[in-house]
Amino acid sequence: MTVSEHDTPTDLGTDLGADLDQWWRRLGSAVLVGTARRPAPSVTDLRLDDLPLRPPPQARPEEVALGSAAVGGALRRAGRVLAADDLEVPTAPPEQLAEAPARACQLLTLLLEAPPTDAAGTEDLLRHWCAAAREAGVRVPHRLLPALLDRASSTELRAAVSAVVGERGRWLADQASAWRWLEQSSALQSSLDLVEQTLGAPAVDPHRWAQQSTTARAAQLRRLRTADPAAARDLLGTTWARDSAKDRRTLLEALWVGLGPDDEELLEAALDDRAASVRELAAELLDGLPGSRRASRMAQRLRPLLGETGLLRRQLEVRLPDDPDAAGRRDGLTAPPRGVSARGWWLQRIVAGAPFGAWDAPAVRTVLRLRDEDAIAGLRRAAIARKDAEWARALLDRGPDPRQPTTPELLGILPAPEREGRVLAALPTTAPTALQPLLGVLPPAWSPRVSAAVVDRLAALKPEQVGPALEALVPRLVRGLHLDSAPALERWRARAQLLPHHDSRIRSLIQSRTLRATISEAFHP
């Protein structure tokens, strides 16, 4: 039996493991204070009957320490062979899937052993390889399983890997503590598969769910919300009373998925939560329910503040609210963020929580007549929370808020063709620092038209702007750029005379585009 160098010797489950651990700490202490002050333990202290190791005769203390470090390090990395009756390892079950095609396996070997792209590009290509393998109904070859399991560090890559490791991969994960994440990732992937295949609710064991990390619990809640919001809401309630404030807020955020009127009772109760962070999130979620009791209360607060002014009463005036009472504070009219006026903040919260019907006018007419930026900011919050395309469109046509130059959240509400058109129109004049959030509203992979426009925008950057823009954009470029964009990227790189570091990033990006296409082709020879 062998163990990873990351495992502790106690994982061996033998007396040698415990002795070696203590011996190794003694050696470290001796080296730290110096062998002249504390003698280093000898390898003879390990009582290795089958390995009769001895330090050389007349060896100096420092030579004993170096020899002990060499032998001890090898033992910690390799462990020892156990007798047959020391450990019973179950036999791996037979595979249900065929191995990936030879060309695909060669490409996976390249990505694991000598990746031609940077870390972001390599992880994207590994995800793509796993997705292509899953679609083709094949698995990772056995010889590459350890390297791939070691490489899967991010949650997203782990989920992709869990679907293609086969029976041998799951068997391996049971034998090594460093790979125990596979069971959890496989469970999450299976839940998602069930949702996709049946549009029903994946079964979740509340006891096992409660024992997972908060991050894993929140991820499973979000997936369950896509199929059965009520079941996810009930699951959330099973641990609510004993969860910490931080965990309650993290888990409550899952309600943004599939938010609906049936969530009102839970959110109304959360307005009285003992933690301010949970109360604030509950209020934000209720902004997305214009038919709720809280929305009605906000409408009652908003209507007395509205009036008309100007020639022919063409402008809509909004007065600032008075100090809130206890009921208002419960509904979210609390202390403002630093640098924001209290009454302006309360107006934002009232407008964000009130139904659009409280304005008694269509979106375009209301927005055009408004001049108060706090009221506009509240309408933006309401449109985003309710994913209302009509109000998002009216607010975008009004122009940017001077305090919020970009409004990607509003763009994300629009239908896909309209969203892409607005992004294309905004790209040429968008500041380099704002490109990342703007492109973030488009799901990968981008269309050839968008990809070409992005490359053109990069080519138009000033030399001093290239570096900061690439640092922010590369992760999105890796996943977003269409495969056909590689030639245009190469032409820009050839004439741009980039700094070596930036040139390397672009070359890596070009290689990732080329490899992505090659991987797809490898699964369909």
Q: Residue 224 falls within a domain, yes or no?
A: no
Q: Considering the entire predicted model, what is its pTM? A: 0.67
Contact 229, 267 (CB under 8 A): no
Do 73 and 165 lie in a common domain?
no
Higher pLDDT, 525 or 150: 150
Domain boundary pick from 198, 220, 252: 198
Do 107 and 37 lie in a common domain?
no
pLDDT of 9: 36
State whether residue 99 is helix, strand or coil: strand
What mean pLDDT comes out for the span 501-507? 83
Do 115 and 157 lie in a common domain?
yes
**Residue 493, domain extent:** 445-522
Q: Tokens standing for 348?
A: 């934002």
Q: Residue 117 falls within a domain, yes or no?
A: yes
Higher pLDDT, 274 or 27: 274
Do 513 and 456 lie in a common domain?
yes
Contact 31, 109 (CB under 8 A): no
Q: Residue 219 burial by CB count (10 A; 0-12/13-18/19+): exposed, middle or buried?
A: buried
- State which of 257-271, 388-402, 445-459 shows the largest mean pLDDT: 257-271
Per the structure, the count of domains in the chain is 4
Q: Residue 45 falls within a domain, yes or no?
A: yes
Locus of tokens 């100007």? 310
Q: Residue 337 falls within a domain, yes or no?
A: yes
Domain boundary pick from 415, 430, 454: 415
Do 492 and 391 lie in a common domain?
no
Q: Residue 166 falls within a domain, yes or no?
A: yes
Locus of tokens 């797809």? 520
Q: Residue 207 falls within a domain, yes or no?
A: no
Domain boundary pick from 165, 198, 231: 198
Do 107 and 70 lie in a common domain?
no
**187-201, 226-240, 334-348: range with lowest mean pLDDT:** 187-201
List, for residues 145-201, the tens digit of each pLDDT value: 999 988 887 777 888 898 899 999 888 888 877 887 787 665 544 444 444 444 444
**27-36, 74-83, 261-270, 377-386: range with lowest mean pLDDT:** 74-83
List, for residues 348-372, the tens digit of each pLDDT value: 999 999 999 999 999 999 999 998 9
Do 411 and 317 lie in a common domain?
yes
Q: Residue 211 falls within a domain, yes or no?
A: no
Residue 112 has pLDDT above 50, yes or no: yes
Do 410 and 292 lie in a common domain?
yes
Q: Residue 185 falls within a domain, yes or no?
A: yes
Q: H helices of 387-462, where? A: 389-398, 408-411, 416-426, 435-439, 448-459
List, for residues 128-140, the tens digit of each pLDDT value: 999 999 999 999 9
- In the DSSP assignment, the letter for residue 370 is B
Rounded distance between C-alpha atoms, residue 416 and residue 408, angstroms: 13
Percent of the chain with pLDDT over 70: 86
Do 456 and 513 lie in a common domain?
yes
Q: How many CB atoms are closer than 10 A to CB 61?
A: 15
Which pLDDT band holds residue 77 (cuts at 50, 70, 90)? low
Do 105 and 173 lie in a common domain?
yes
Report CA dihedral (264, 265, 266, 271) to the nearest 10 degrees: 80
pLDDT of 23: 80
Higher pLDDT, 266 or 69: 266
Do 293 and 406 lie in a common domain?
yes
pLDDT of 433: 84
Partner residues linked to 309 by β-bridges = 315
Do 293 and 396 lie in a common domain?
yes
